[in-house]
Structure 1
Amino acid sequence: MATTRIIPMHLNKGKTLAQCLADRTEYGMNPDKTEGGALISAFACEPETAVSEFALSKREYRELTGRVQESDVIAYQVRQSFKPGEVTPEEANRIGYEFAKRFLKGRHAFLVCTHTDKKHIHNHIYWNSTALDCTKKFKNFIGSYRAVRRLSDLICAERRLSVVENPQKHGLSYNKWRGGHDKLSNRELLRMAIDAALEKQPQDFDALLALLKASGYSVARKSRLSLRHENQKQSIRLDSLGEGYSEQELRAVLAGSRTHKPFVRKKYPKRRERATLISDIEAKLNAGKGYRYDQAMKVVKLKQMAKTLIYLEEKGFADFDALVNAAADAEKRFYDLKAAIKAAEARMGEIQTLRTHIMNYSRTRSVYTGYRKAGYSKKYLAEHEGDILIHKAAKKAFDAFGLKKLPTVRSLNEEFARLMAEKKAAYAEYHRAQEQMRELLIHKANAAYLLGLDEQNRQTTERQREEK
């Protein structure tokens, strides 16, 4: 299920073009989110110098065209998210790269940054608004969001990934989606007032409106019915409250032909705080940002020390060696799962290729048989060249696979489905193993810091270097 969103990135006042580009792309290329930069791919630019390359192309564009815009779009970004457990980070990055290549038709440089810091793997795709020839710019045409979504869904469908069935043009903001605000919105208050009025079992719709008026709402009817509380600035239409709250639906409830289901606000658990390396906190302490900052970092450092000690006690590690062994086991488990997933993906790719060649081979067999019976006639070849080339390509692929007997398409489909199920199951475990490995490695490093082992290792390394 890949969801997409296209975002124009403008030139901010008071900042240079290079500063704006760096600010926007720095988050996407964060090494902590992209596995040390391994999940960053690029087209027609280098990730390390992309900001400079983008800025240089815009300078050349101004010199070639003489066009200067006050509110200039310097780049575009697409966020592409995937359903948890469906793709590996590497596959997500390949999908993002393919999407950008096909959507931009190779005319714009772009970066694809795949983030794995959340349960849902997602891509941040940045592309230069200026074309590679520096004479044109990307036009964010009407309906571009729809084109982005359709292409992304097409690529996912080709790989047998799920897509959003009923996408909406506009969605909730992230904070509202998470239900992060304790303060109720005006719409939620109106829903609650309607629910309370319905509990009193009014005889008809007019009686329902009378109860709402008694609770402080005024009623206005122009083209549609709307209500406004005395503490609100704007009216709220009933049909904007969601399912079950339109005038027609409320009338049906009062008539007894429909059951009212009160709106339930979704609650999401707070995100668990992740462990932090004490060495990273030490680096911030030495950043020279001032006394207050250093004091705050010292408190953070003490808290992290306490968290590591509590973790070791809760997990029952008798000594440091037990922690080292547990971390090594977790690391091995993670990389074994990763290798299994990659092997499944590789075989699934082979199956897709083989299935295509088998179908092409069957479709063109009669044409190639006729070609052979015609004594490999040049005239026959000219008339059926396309089918003959496809048939030869299929036979060449079978030789490359080392096949003596062709499998049936049905058996390949069954194997593909089995591998897909195994991959999904392994990937769910892969995510848990990754989190467990990360937690153990961080607490192992922190425990080494608390025991002074890091300092001992550093001194031993320095002595060995001096002896050499």
Structure 2
Amino acid sequence: MAITKIHAIKSTLSNVILYIENPSKTDGQLLVSGYNVEPQTAALDFEITAMMAHKVHHISCKKTSNLAYHLIQSFSPTEKITPREAHDLGRKLALEFTEGKYEFVIATHIDKGHIHNHIIINSVSFYDYKKLRTVPYRTAQQIRSISDRLCMEAQLSVIKDPQKLGQLYPTYVQKKRTTSNRTEVRKKLNFCLERATNYAQFLQMAQELGISVCQRGKHMTYLLDGAGRAIRDTSLADTDKFTYPGLAERLADNAAVQQFIRERIAKILPNVSTFADFAKLLQSEGVKIRVKKQSGQLLYKAADLDGTWVPADALGDGFTLAGLENTIKNKSENLDTNHSTPIAELYQELTTNYPQSCDTSVRLTSRQICSVGKRGVLLQIHDSSGNPAKLMIDNSHIHTTPDGSVSADIGAAFSYDITYDDGIHGTIRGTDLIRQIDEENLTQPLTVSLTADQIIAMSLRGVTVQLPQHHIERLFIPERYVQRNVEQGSCAISLYPGWQYSYVPIGSKKTRKSISGAELAQSLGGVVQVGTSESSLARRVANVERRAGIANAHELGKLLGSMADNGLHSAADFDKQISAYQREEMKLRNEIAELRSKSKIYAATAHNLQACRTYKSVWLEYASKPLTQKDTFYKQNEAALQAYSRAASQLDKMGISLGTEPEKVRQLVTETESRIADLIAELEIVRKTNQAIQEDKEKVEQIQSG
């Protein structure tokens, strides 16, 4: 496996690139390459991209902005890997991490006892001019996961004998985890950084949340009330987010974004009569909004400024959901900019307490395990749509038993990053992952009989139960896990011991909680055989079964009618339709991939046109110099002349005139992205239709087999 780390570059970018491209470290620069840039002119290319981004977003360059990110990937001296293989792995890592939207230079160093890659990534995308956003620790973990998976796919550090799992991963002893001081400080500082627009305001907010901020020399420290020692800024993140320059940059961005949003809201407010009108008009002005379901919190985002989501309370009471609805109702044109709720109270109200431990253990078999390495296990799974994907589980969450079985600890409330074969990333909820693995491994559920007083409602969708003595107001079990017996007048449910079941607790706060299947079965009265029940329950079961029979008859009628309309007579006839939709789905996927490739070419072309426009005057001056002065002038302006020459050469190969306006080419990117969005929506319709046909085929097969 390889060790990875990343940090931001705020100055001397050209010196860093010069260092990593050192011929004595890179086999005469044979192990140096670039993505959408020439390594020798990368610093200038990065600068041009930033310049175009500032022009598109109508903001000025800031000296505190991150110029690039330096990613290092180091391989163990014991790994059997060649310099070229290491270079290719590093390139794949950078392309997957950046999704091919950011320029980078990669250099493989072989002058040490171990091979390692240096990758310099532009902080601004040449594709959509958005900043490369990093999240403390999460970004580093994301990079490590990609690197580990690529190494395992390349058969590096792979354990050939699965029996050695027991030697590698000792029997796991679960420890209760609590939120550390560092995590609490980070959460509170992030809360302040979502709202503050200047340093004084940031300090005041931090103090109100119980954090003392102190600047000592070039470092800042943060002391949480009640903690024994302060925490240094650089230990809170894998970037400079919490250093003074990082704070200054974020606060300046906040001020610009909040001002932009206020101006756009003031512009449209006189023309709105409903909140729906407000949202629609505001989006036409370049500001998106969304409302968090759980808290009802309203958020704004200025898309053109590449800003983060801004909480409405940061703008003032009048910009919140309640404030806006009141203003629109009273037909007022002035919004209240005061902040009546203390920041500490807001923090308690709006902060989500995420789970700190993996709460469910699932057994892994050969159905899921692709390969095993020193860092963890690579699993083959499926997303919610049934598409195959891969998932890395870190070794800290893997444990074995003396009999050789392997289990993984998974957090039901967590979201896990998955990767498809084409390198595209997605996510899967922990609860879905647990259910998928259990069902694939044919894990036997517990069968629990319900009493009449435990059932609130019974419908064709499932059963809703209540357990007041265990503070459960209502908990829903889907129909697929319900068994009703009309003859015995009973109703039972299947519960998986390791699954987490969501419920609404009794009390004023309706925040959902969860309970394991084993605990729920115990709370319901234990695992029992299904027997007779009360007459009231028998009537309810019979009633639901009658409704189910009627619904099934209607469904069967629709199915038979649809089959007649489409000339289908048996389950085998469905295969033609399924194949046709599968071909259409593949066609759409290929078209989307092709358009994405074209869009990146258009973006790169716009970049080259801008480079020619920027350095044209230098090139013309060089061309006009007498032969005796050319050499001196070239040495003084070598980087600019090389950047112009490279860009002009690329455009010439594509047959594009140097006089073409970059803005027109950028418009092609916008149009292509719009077409891609339409195709993705069309693909989803085709996928759902195909899934429905497959379900109809299964129903017909059941009828024929019966």
TM-score when scaled to structure 2? 0.27
Higher strand share: 2
Relative contact order, higher structure (CA 8 A, sep 6+): 1
